[in-house]
Amino acid sequence: MGAMNSFDALLADVRACAICSDLPLGPRPVVQAHPGSRILIAGQAPGRKVHASGVPFDDASGQRLRAWLGVTREEFYDPKRFAILPMGFCFPGTGTSGDLPPRPECAPAWREQLIAQLDHVELTLVIGQYAQAHYFGAAHSTVTATVRSWRTRWPNTLPLPHPSPRNNLWLRRNPWFEAELLPALRLRVGALLRERSG
């Protein structure tokens, strides 16, 4: 029980964080985690809608991501199943062609502390260019090349494109993603969730 209390205290500290007090809409860290989480979602940063609701992936990107995973909202928002720890925990603001990059302060301040306590993660989903650069470093070239080489990191780590509607063209140009990667992903997620509930 002590470990859980210390994790809850850490999460409370994260949610109260105001390191980036200069953010356009102010700080509002949006994360989900539990020491028993089986699947870690490493995304980019919350968008404007998620900032407003305080619920991770509470937008069109989340609907698509849940469809990719083959899970319900209830399953997705169970922190014992899914930890959601983006590269930046707060909405970074809007740039000329979409949201700005995640702020760099979260990873050293909080992210590694949280991940260090997730002892049961068996699958990490690395979503989008910023997360892939963080996780894969020099091995990451482009999102397309990184995702296309998904089998080299399977079954413990899986790079994904961002599920944003802005990526509809990418999905049309890369039919192998839906034909080959998504069926394998759904099987893996389903097996992990059955183990959790079994």
Residues 173-184: pLDDT tens digits?
999 999 999 999
In this prediction, residue 96 carries a pLDDT of 85
CATH number at residue 49: 3.40.470.10
The pLDDT of residue 197:
64
Tokens of 114: 């949280």
Total count of domains within the chain: 1
CB 103 within 8 A of CB 20: yes
The model's confidence at residue 83, banded by pLDDT at 50, 70 and 90, is very high
> Given CA atoms 31, 94, 142, 181 in this order, what sign does their dihedral have?
positive
Share of the chain above pLDDT 90, in %: 86
- Among candidates 20, 170, 7, which has minimal Cα distance to 83? 7
Over residues 118-140, the pLDDT tens digits come to 999 999 999 999 999 999 998 78
Which residue, 150, 11, 179, is CA-closest to 83? Answer: 11
Query: What pTM, to 2 d.p., does this model score?
Result: 0.94
CB 83 within 8 A of CB 32: yes
Domain of residue 158, residue span:
2-197
